[in-house]
Chain A
Amino acid sequence: MNEKPEKLIDKKGLRLDGRKADELRPVKIEVGILPNADGSAYIEHGKNKILAAAFGPREMHPKHLSRPDRMVLRCRYHMAPFSVGERKSPAPSRREIELSKVIRESLEPAVFVEYYPRTGVDVFIEVLQADGGTRCASITAASLALADAGIPMRDIVVACAAGKVEDKVVLDLFDTEDKVGSADVPVAFMPNLNAVTLLQMDGILTPDEFEKAVSMAIDGCKKIYELQKEALKTKYMLLEAEEEVEE
């Protein structure tokens, strides 16, 4: 899809990939797939393929970055050179540095950072294939990696975007819609505490459209959250199943 398509939404109201306006891309999540990490998760969100790994809590290096009153959360969002159509330089770009910060700030409210002073937790996010909405999928996977590492959390963070394509508010934009469409609103959300931890907007929306986009994104988050819970439980469910056989 290198050429700019003429119509992003057809007469029936279906989008380029055949979705309805409020339909998510298919999401597949797996937890605990990297044995060398303390916690890990893998997500396939549409054509996005993202790995997240969490390490710690451990001693902070370099030491001067540690905080006497809390744990330091560090995130590294990185896109593999082969993750996009044209080779991306593996050096961290301005965009990746910003996304690392944004992801860290959206995860931090969920983690009990004050329990473990002077320590650090590292989260590495590796985008293997990108197709729009990687920051949201990254947050979804990273929070599962943290939970899988056994780090106490207030809630699991889940993220999803909504945006505007041809004057219509739609859920979960993919690459072409993101580039050609007129607005993108990524939202990260803690479903049990009903709290938003990330809210960005790129493009132009009227206040009404913005509100509609946010509520649409939150509904999308809630759907992905169910998949997150299921993925997290599946890893530990095996243990429970064994128990039932025993009794």
Chain B
Amino acid sequence: MPTYFEKKQLVTPGEMLAEGDYLAGNNTYAENSKIYASRIGLADCNNKQVNVVALRSFYFPKVGDIVIGTVLEVGFNGWTVDIKAPYTALLRASDVLSRPFKPQNDELSQVLAGGDLIVAKIASYDRAHDPQLTVGEPGLGKITRGQIIKVTPSKIPRVIGKKGSMISMIKQETNCQIILGVNGVILVTGKNPDNEDLALAAIQKIENESHTSGLTDRITQFLKEEKEKMEENKNE
């Protein structure tokens, strides 16, 4: 029962990865007890499970995901929200108001208008229905300040780093609050725009160099250097 790849080998869709007693993991499929890749990515085998870490993918909603979306339209009893997925999401008025919603009393566009950005969680989604959002948890709701940066969704794990090492380092170094939307939208809020710009630059750097190793160290270095430069500019 062999496998036909080396660890971290670049594979293309349709390439046979293993034969026999293996399980098809992420971005793979099984046919006739053979495992094939279904996306371009790096192959890996973990406990008889063959996975491909996709180098190219798109966001597809999953219940429980924290996403950042843009309000598209104010409807009769809720909003439609663009979450950068193949479906538009729905946010119900009763969820936001936390009291029974009466159309005659509440003007929805005063709560959230088109173009507003929100942090939300996917409350329900299945094949037959568009995803439904909820903001009824701490940390969720309308975004009032900060800056947004968009990255490829498949690179979000890289921004988080091993056990959150990367993201907590950036938070510490730049003194910013960072909220990661699984759909590839990142919100950075800091005490001043300079800090925010620094965090954004670091995230941009991660996106550009996400497939290199030793990235956390390099980003730490990068942030330290940039901070020194900022100090110098202030002193001048």
The residues of A with any CB-CB pair to B shorter than 8 Å are: 38-39, 56-59, 68-69, 110, 112, 116-119, 147-150, 152-156, 190-193, 229, 232-233, 236-237, 239-240, 242-243, 246-247
B14 touches A192 (CB 8 A): yes
* Residue from B10, B38, B211 in contact with A153 in the complex, judged by beta carbons closer than 8 Å: B38
Q: Which residues of B contact A155 (CB under 8 A)?
A: 13-14, 36
Q: How distant is A32 from chain B, measured CB to nearest CB, in Å?
A: 9
Given contacts A148-B56, A242-B212, A243-B213, contact A119 B14 (CB under 8 A): no
B7 contacts A by Cβ under 8 Å: no
- Give every chain A residue within 8 A of B27 (Cβ-Cβ): 152
Is B121 part of the contact surface with A, judged by Cβ < 8 Å? no
State how many angstroms separate the Cβ of A35 from the closest Cβ of chain B: 13
Residues in A with CB closer than 8 Å to B211 are 239-240, 242-243
- List, in ascending order, chain B residues with CB within 8 A of A246's CB: 212-214
New A-B contacts (14) at CB < 8 Å, excluding given A57-B58, A110-B14, A192-B15: A39-B56, A57-B86, A59-B86, A112-B38, A117-B127, A118-B86, A152-B13, A153-B14, A156-B12, A156-B13, A233-B10, A240-B211, A242-B211, A247-B213
B213 touches A153 (CB 8 A): no
Report the separation of the CA atoms of residues A149 and B127 in the bound assembly, to the nearest whole angstrom: 22
The 3 A-B pairs of least Cβ separation, nearest first, read: A155-B14, A150-B56, A239-B211
Contact B87 A118 (CB under 8 A): yes
Residue contact B13 to A116, C-beta cutoff 8 Å: no
- Binary CB contact string for chain B from 24 to 42 against chain A (1 if under 8 A, 0 otherwise): 0001010100001011100
Q: Is B128's beta carbon under 8 Å from chain A?
A: yes
Q: Tell me the chain B residues, 21-63 only, with Cβ under 8 Å from chain A.
A: 27, 29, 31, 36, 38-40, 54-58, 60
The answer for the CA separation of A243 and B209 in the assembled complex, in Å, is 9
Contact residues in B for A57 (Cβ distance below 8 Å): 58, 86
Q: How far is the CA of A57 from the CA of B209 in the complex (A)?
A: 26
Q: Count of chain B residues with Cβ under 8 Å from any Cβ of A?
A: 30
- Give the residues in chain A near B175, CB-CB below 8 Å: none
B residues apposed to A, CB below 8 Å: 10, 12-16, 27, 29, 31, 36, 38-40, 54-58, 60, 86-88, 127-128, 154, 209, 211-214
By CB atoms of chain B within 10 A, which of A69, A150, A233 has the most?
A: A150
CA distance in complex: A240, B41 (Å): 11
In the complex, residue of chain A having the shortest beta-carbon distance to the beta carbon of B13:
A153
In the complex, which residue of chain A has the Cβ closest to the Cβ of B152?
A: A150
Enumerate chain A residues within 8 angstroms of B12, measured Cβ to Cβ.
Answer: 147, 156, 229, 232-233
**Is B40 a contact partner of A232 (Cβ separation < 8 A)?**
yes
Q: Choose from B38, B60, B87 the contact partner of A59 (Cβ within 8 Å).
A: B87
Distance A100 CA – B154 CA, assembled complex (angstroms): 31
List residues of chain B with CB within 8 A of the CB of A236.
Answer: 10, 40, 55
Given A38-B58, A68-B128, answer yes or no on A59-B88 (Cβ-Cβ < 8 Å). yes
Q: Is the CB of B213 within 8 A of A154?
A: no
Separation in Å of the B13 CB from the closest CB of chain A?
4
A147 and B55 form a contact (CB under 8 A): no
Shortest distance from the beta carbon of B134 to any chain A beta carbon, whole Å:
22
Instruction: Decide if A191 touches B212 in the complex (CB within 8 Å).
Output: no
B13 touches A154 (CB 8 A): yes
Assess the B13–A240 pair: CB atoms within 8 A. no
**Neighbouring A residues of B128 by C-beta, 8 Å:** 68, 117
Best-surrounded residue of B13, B16, B54, B209 (most CB of chain A within 10 A)? B13
Chain A hits for B40, CB < 8 A = 147-148, 150, 232-233, 236
Question: A237 contacts B213, CB within 8 Å?
Answer: no
8 A-B pairs in the complex with CB atoms less than 8 angstroms apart: A58-B86, A112-B29, A116-B86, A118-B127, A154-B29, A192-B16, A236-B40, A247-B214
Contacts of A58 in B (CB 8 A): 86
Task: Report the separation of the CA atoms of residues A152 and B12 in the bound assembly, to the nearest whole angstrom.
Answer: 10
